[in-house]
Amino acid sequence: MTKNRNYSYKDVDMLLTSKTIAGNFKSNISELSAARNDWTEEYATNLVLRIDQTIETHLGIDAKKGLRDATSGLSAIQVSAKRNLSFFKTQIDDDFKAEPATRDEILNTLGFSKHLRGVQKGNQESLVQLLYSFKTNMTGSLRGQIVGKGMSDVLISNIMDYANTFTQANISQEGFKLSTKEITKEVAEVFNAIYDEIIGICKKVSNYYQYDAVKKEQFTFSKVVGNLGSAHKTSTVTAP
């Protein structure tokens, strides 16, 4: 957690919890408005809207979803590309077993000798390099030689296509990473203001509902954040 926060929760957890509490507050505003003059329907509605806008503007939830989707798509492409590359190499090993010098030359030319170990270790850059070496160095004559041994021409085309597909997916992933928001000091102050406002509401409302355990829990920050199921505290903070 970055310094200058009034809370120890992740920013997204703090804001989603605040949004939940603000929703609870709005749902009970007809009763709670009798407790304070500034607790009006308009205030409750604006509070929810302000938190929603803060989440969308400063956390970039949609961008993060796009990043997860792009990363998931990239992972799926990696699995298919690695499977086809492995199948290709297995066939080369067998088809040219009587010609070891030719076999080694083919694997070296296409990038297997240099990059395969990294690919097997899950290195993404190694996979990119191997795919590009494969595509760049797969000449017509080499392709004919390999296909002449029984290799599927479609398999070769698929592997060459992965070079473009993989790169586009990788660009998409990196683009989404860049689109996620950096939390500046000014934004942190906005987050702190929301947290302080919600905590102030929690203190008052939890006391108001001190004899109603169910409703009191709806305004106990630690209880609500715990119910998110994904919140993880980085240090101890006492909150109502």
Residue, of 106 and 232, whose pLDDT is higher: 106
The C-alpha atoms of residue 175 and residue 157 are separated, in whole angstroms, by: 27
Sort 194 into a burial class: Cβ within 10 Å, 0-12 / 13-18 / 19+.
Answer: buried
The DSSP annotation for 204-226 comes to HHHHHTTT-HHHHHHT-HHHHHH
Task: Note the pLDDT of residue 236.
Answer: 35
What residue segments make up the domains of the chain, in order of their start? 11-60+182-227, 80-179
The Cβ-side half-sphere exposure at 217, using a 13 Å CA radius, reads: 5
pLDDT score for 42: 96
What pLDDT, on the 0 to 100 scale, is given for residue 232?
42
pLDDT digits (tens, 9 = 90+) for 125-176: 788 788 888 988 999 999 999 999 999 999 999 999 887 776 655 555 555 5
Using CA atoms in the order 106, 107, 111, 112, what is the torsion angle rounded to 10 degrees? 170
CB 29 within 8 A of CB 39: yes
Alpha-carbon gap, residue 215 to 28, rounded angstroms:
9
Encoded tokens for 198: 């919600």
Question: How far is the C-alpha of 213 from the C-alpha of 190, rounded, in Å?
Answer: 31
pLDDT at 92 over 70: yes
pLDDT digits (tens, 9 = 90+) for 165-202: 766 555 555 555 444 556 788 888 999 999 999 999 99
What pLDDT was estimated at residue 234?
41
Give percent of the chain with pLDDT exceeding 90: 49
- Distance (Å, whole) CA 99 – CA 93: 9
pLDDT band at 231 (very low <50, low <70, confident <90, very high): very low
Please give the structure tokens belonging to residue 126: 């190694």
pTM value is: 0.49
**Between 177 and 93, whose confidence is greater?**
93
Q: Which residue has the higher pLDDT, 178 or 117?
A: 117
**How far is residue 117's CA from residue 123's CA, in Å, rounded to a whole number?**
9
